[in-house]
Amino acid sequence: MRRLDQLAIVWIGLIAWSVTVTTLHFAGLTLEIYSAISWWDLLTHSMSGFGIAALAVLTHRDRVARYGSVWWVVPTIVAIGAGFEVYEFAFKAFWHEWTLQKYVVDTVVDLGMNTLGGTVVSSAVSGYLTAIDPPQPDLSSPNHTE
């Protein structure tokens, strides 16, 4: 970030996003917002998926620009989200009061929200790449030799 160009501004925005998500998460735990507001968990997980996807795209921007594909981000989000769900199960005392069925439902919803956030980023980047470099139709028929 030696120069204040567009890429540096995007990184600063991503850092601010990460701080916001972390603050919301720890506020939710400390102030017991997760149990008081039903959609708080949905908010934090979708924002996390969005941020992780943005980080993945930014750190691999050369490959993204070269190949024009960002759909590998969605499985990446699912994998990272699954790892976090294992962490939640192992290290969070309040999860141990839940039934296994409730935990499974929560895990599926959490992974869905993570994936939704990542899909928004993947769709936006894919749309942007298509807008700046639209695919050119192949005018020759596949079975025609010239």
- In angstroms, the CA 47 to CA 1 distance is 24
For residue 16, pLDDT over 60 is answered with: yes
Looking at the chain, the number of H-run helices and the number of E-run strands are 6, 0
Q: What integer is the mean pLDDT of 100-119?
A: 92
pLDDT interval class at 127 (50, 70, 90): confident
Q: What integer is the mean pLDDT of 5-30?
A: 90
**Residue 144: its pLDDT value, please?**
52
pLDDT digits (tens, 9 = 90+) for 53-90: 999 998 988 888 777 778 899 999 999 999 988 888 88
Between 55 and 134, where is the model more confident? 55
Q: Name which of 125, 6, 106, 116 is nearest 61 in CA terms.
A: 125
Q: What integer is the mean pLDDT of 85-113?
A: 83
**Residue 61: its pLDDT value, please?**
82
The DSSP string of 75-116 is HHHHHHHHHHHHHHHHH-GGGGGS-HHHHHHHHHHHHHHHHH
**Residue 3: its pLDDT value, please?**
54
- In angstroms, the CA 74 to CA 53 distance is 8
| Backbone φ, ψ for residue 105 (5° rounding) | -60, -45
**Residue 27: its pLDDT value, please?**
94
pLDDT digits (tens, 9 = 90+) for 29-42: 899 898 899 899 99
pLDDT interval class at 23 (50, 70, 90): very high
**Residue 1: its pLDDT value, please?**
43
